[in-house]
Amino acid sequence: MVMKKRLDNGFNGLSDWTVPRCPRSFRKRVHSKKDFEDGQICAIELLASLAGKLLQDGESTACSNTSDGDHSVIGTNVVKEDKSNQEKGFKEKCCDGGSSQSCDLAIETTDQKQNLKKLQYVDNITVFDCTSVVVNSNSSDEACGDVKPVVCKTEFGDYCTKPEEGSPDSLESTDTGMKIINEEQHGFPNMADSHGSKDLKKSPTMANSSFKTGFRSLFSRYRNYFKLASRDEDEKFRSNKSSFHSNSFRPPSRIAGRRIRKLLNSKHWKAAPKLKDCEVPRSGSIDDETRNPFRKRKLYFNSERRFHGDGLYKRRRFFDRSSVVNSDEGMSSESVSNSPEKSIHIDKSGLAAVLHGASVTTSSAQQASFHSKDSHVKFSIRSFKVPELFIDVPENATVGSLKKIVLEAVTAILKGGLHVGVLVHGKKVRDDNRTLLQTGLSCKDNLDTVGFTLEPNLVHNTTSPLCSEDHPQMLACDITELVPSSPVNPVSSSGILDVVALPNTTLTNSKIQDENKHELITTSIDNLPDNSLQDCKALVPVPEMTMEALAVVPLNPKSKRSEVVQRRTRRPFSVSEVEALVQAVEELGTGRWRDVKFRAFENADHRTYVDLKDKWKTLVHTARISPQQRRGEPVPQELLDRVLAAHAYWSQHQAKQHSKHHQAGVVKAIEGSSC
DNA sequence: TTTAGGG
DNA sequence: CCCTAAA
């Protein structure tokens, strides 16, 4: 139930994804000794069936069927999950990103025939303990663009994956899988001609909404991407809205954000509320106009414009969520998909290269597991978040200039260099000299409380056009899992994979290499050849798990704490914000915080209507107490007076309304009873 | 989802 | 700011 819900949210509520799944009994399989034995058999059978399969079908591939595939299990220890939905989600987002014109997103495609041989490759492997391994593997099917992950569990480091039944392009082979990765890094399935684009047409709004997240998710989805989030799309979308009078209108991105937040916070799911489209617009009513003495001016708080003027400006924003949060996000749709390397082009300018090169920062992993025998704490970083780019340009700016700005912004970030921060329980560990043990990072601990952050080296950015917002925040990453103390570099050793070897393509990578060795390591780990699995210690796989997979295989059942959400960073209201708030409340009254939010804090994503309401509450309180008792940034008395005035007015107003309502209700009741 | 109010 | 009941 929860799982389902999450998925739906993660994919913008797409409900038409009929994702076939194997019975829960399969997914929940517990590994036993028998599993181990079966695991042995499995490999052989796989090869056998595979060979037959290769002979059998040449190329006919009904993609829909293949992905649905029956679940005739070869090994009894097979758990399968279908990620096609995610892939689809990505496509939508991606395509939308292209169509929305803030950048030209073109997805390269390789020779598809090359992909025909598409094999399942073992993408990620997680060791939960010395006796169990979870393999999360995918097979790619370019025909439909689906990614078909298979999660298997076996014991003793043995593993097997289940080839897609009926899928000609399934093959059980790990090292071939590596090759595939290699091949596909030069391009990926043409998304335009897949069904993802159809969905786009169906739901433009949704598509639009998913632009940001989609773009953002590129990075984590395709681990060699640079994740770049651009806000301008939905900002624009919102600002195009000419009035606030539609109560039913909800900026999609915000909703998505809320959803995520909700996901993080909710312990239970409620039925979705109905849209109240028929609701009478509240803010525009004549009643308001005539009665509200405050309604005159419109003060729109825009944190950006207010401080930077209307000219071109860019600034960076960073994700302020700690990894603790991200451990949740990790289960979300965004960073889950394991897909072969792909490339993105944003124009032909340098950005593409930057994006590509920066891919190193990504990696994926899920939850931690560890060997209690050795005292090494093993980490694996699921993915780093890259600073979000916040771009605001005049409408009459050219697309070219926009591109340039984006490029500059990205370049500036990358040039600035990065630092790594470590978070434990959402708190930054500043003392570099502390041991992990002292920090609370023992192998016995839940490592999901650990987070790494990428912190831009702002010092070097002085020449950049970027201004940093607030405090330099971190780009949280999802940490997840274990990395052996002396990890092998499968990339170099195997020689198969050069995806991760892209590092030197840009300055970024070398930087990152220097500063984030861990990340590099874990990144490469993703592609461990299976033989490395034999060495439990050397195993540093990074499983990208879907939420479902996660549900299937509770990686760390003990860690309920992983759901602990870090408290939001405190962000005191500035005077200008207060002013905007007061202004809005004067006009709209208390009790309409959503409208207030849209009116005055449209672009201040970090201010929720609840925040505004709370702030108003404290403002009223502040206004009532003596100036000596007030703390924090002093609010001009004039504003406080207005607060009191407005509060008094609206309280009265509300009371009136209330009594009216009451009367009306009474009348109605009387009428009803008299009939 | 939004509002309202306590913590 | 968080949490959550209630709408």
pLDDT in tens, A415-436: 777 777 777 666 667 677 667 7
Which of A117-126, A188-197, A344-353 is predicted least confidently? A344-353
Does residue A594 lie in a domain region? yes
**pLDDT over 70 (residue A648):** yes
Cβ of A564 near strand C (under 7 Å)? The reply is no
Q: Are residues A550 and A620 in the same domain?
A: no
How many domains does the structure of chain A reveal?
Answer: 2
Q: Are residues A317 and A352 in the same domain?
A: yes
- A488/C6 CA-to-C1' distance in Å: 57
List phi, psi (to 5°) of A357: -65, -30
Does residue A262 lie in a domain region? no
**pLDDT over 80 (residue A593):** yes
Separation of alpha carbons A98 and A201, rounded Å: 14
- A22/C5 CA-to-C1' distance in Å: 38
Cβ of A606 near strand C (under 7 Å)? The reply is yes
* Beta strands across the sheet bearing A450-456: A381-384, A475-479, A450-456, A418-424, A427-429
Q: Which amino acid residue lies closest to nucleotide B3, measuring CA to C1'?
A: A591
- A567/C2 CA-to-C1' distance in Å: 8
Cβ of A591 near strand B (under 7 Å)? The reply is yes
Cβ of A270 near strand C (under 7 Å)? The reply is yes
Q: Are residues A511 and A584 in the same domain?
A: no
Q: Of A137-141, A158-162, A271-275, A403-407, which one has max mean pLDDT? A: A403-407
Which residues form the domain of A667? 570-675
Q: Are residues A594 and A549 in the same domain?
A: no
Does residue A283 lie in a domain region? no
Q: Are residues A545 and A667 in the same domain?
A: no
Label residue A247 by pLDDT band (50, 70, 90).
very low
Longest dimension (CA), chain A: 88
Does residue A303 lie in a domain region? no
Residue A197's identity, in one-letter code, is: S
Q: Are residues A330 and A457 in the same domain?
A: yes
Cβ of A647 near strand B (under 7 Å)? The reply is no
A271 closest-nt by C1' vs CA = B1
Does residue A564 lie in a domain region? no
Q: Are residues A520 and A590 in the same domain?
A: no
Instruction: List residues bridging with A148 in a β-sheet.
Output: A139
Contact A133, A154 (CB under 8 A): yes
Q: Are residues A614 and A534 in the same domain?
A: no
Q: Are residues A316 and A415 in the same domain?
A: yes
Does residue A328 lie in a domain region? yes
Contact A14, A207 (CB under 8 A): no
Cβ of A567 near strand C (under 7 Å)? The reply is yes
Q: Of A14-18, A310-314, A317-321, which one has max mean pLDDT? A: A317-321
A273 closest-nt by C1' vs CA = B1
- A603/B3 CA-to-C1' distance in Å: 21
Residue where the block lists tokens 């009459």: A396
Question: Across chain A, what does the average pLDDT equal?
Answer: 45
Does residue A242 lie in a domain region? no
Residue A661's identity, in one-letter code, is: H
Q: Which residues contact A159 (CB under 8 A, 6 or more apart)?
A: A39, A122, A125, A133, A134, A135, A152, A153, A530, A533
Separation of alpha carbons A562 and A564, rounded Å: 5
Query: Does A558 or A501 have the greater pLDDT score?
Result: A558
Q: Are residues A598 and A457 in the same domain?
A: no
- A2/C5 CA-to-C1' distance in Å: 21
How far lies A6's CA from each of A328, A389, A419, A460, in Å? 11, 26, 32, 40
DSSP letter for each residue of A564-606: PPPPPPP-PPPHHHHHHHHHHHHHH-TT-HHHHHHHH-TT-TT
Instruction: List residues bridging with A121 in a β-sheet.
Output: A138
Instruction: List residues bridging with A155 in a β-sheet.
Output: A132
pLDDT at A270: 31
Nearest CA among A582, A559, A593 for reference residue A647: A582
Does residue A247 lie in a domain region? no
- A566/C7 CA-to-C1' distance in Å: 29
Residue A229, helix vs strand vs coil:
strand
Separation of alpha carbons A541 and A522, rounded Å: 7
CATH code of residue A588: 1.10.246.220
Q: Are residues A551 and A581 in the same domain?
A: no
Query: Does A567 or A8 have the greater pLDDT score?
Result: A567
Cβ of A655 near strand B (under 7 Å)? The reply is no
Q: Are residues A57 and A152 in the same domain?
A: yes
| CA A521 to mean position of chain CA atoms | 22
Label residue A374 by pLDDT band (50, 70, 90).
low
Pick from A523, A555, A587: which residue ends a domain?
A: A555
Nearest CA among A391, A407, A410, A235 for reference residue A313: A391
pLDDT in tens, A78-114: 223 333 333 333 333 333 333 332 222 222 233 333 3
Contact A159, A82 (CB under 8 A): no
Which of A81-85, A161-165, A346-350 is predicted least confidently? A346-350
Protein footprint on strand B: which nucleotides are under 7 Å from a CB? 1-7
Q: Which amino acid residue lies closest to nucleotide C3, measuring CA to C1'?
A: A265
Pick from A555, A586, A610: which residue ends a domain?
A: A555
Structure tokens at A165: 């039944």
